[in-house]
Amino acid sequence: MTSSIDPGLLGIYEAWHTTVCAGDLAATAALYAEHAVFETPLVLAIYPDHGSGVLVGRDVIQRFMEDSKRKFPSDLAEWYRSDKAFINGRNLTWEYPRKTPKGEQVDLMEMMEIENGLITYHRVYWGWYGVRLLAPVLAKAHTL
């Protein structure tokens, strides 16, 4: 039995990582559908008054990425990942693991839903190491 993987999902897998690592956030944002949904606890660290970790819209997502880069200029992540991506239908998932060849980085799971070659829903799940680094920022942001 032959399995067929949508090359568009593999394209997103490669392009998202490449554009983020290069700091080309306009190119990263172009991978999202116009009304895409993006979820991460980092939203509350960047925008303490936002009220949730959910953003909607390509332009809003790009602005968030730019603001995140300004607030955390020394990347929290080394952006190391293995070559393992999990694809099921229109869903794409991969990990930025805590342990890397150079040490430790923020541990993240990227989970995306892709339609017509664009990201429509993106959820970022943080592991214990990343949460430990993010918690003080969130606590400080919500005591102001």
- Domain-wise residue ranges, the chain: 5-140
Q: What is the mean pLDDT of the chain?
A: 89
Q: Domain 5-140 is in which class?
A: alpha beta
Mean pLDDT of 1-23: 82
Helix (H) or strand (E) holding 115: strand 108-115
Residue 3 scores a pLDDT above 80 = no
Q: Are 134 and 125 in contact (CB under 8 A)?
A: no
- Give the C-alpha separation, 80 to 37, whole Å: 25
- Give the C-alpha separation, 123 to 60, whole Å: 15
- Give the C-alpha separation, 96 to 99, whole Å: 9
pLDDT digits (tens, 9 = 90+) for 35-94: 999 999 999 999 998 989 999 999 999 999 999 988 876 656 678 998 889 999 899 999
For strand 118-126 and strand 32-39, is the pairing parallel, antiparallel, or unpaired?
A: parallel
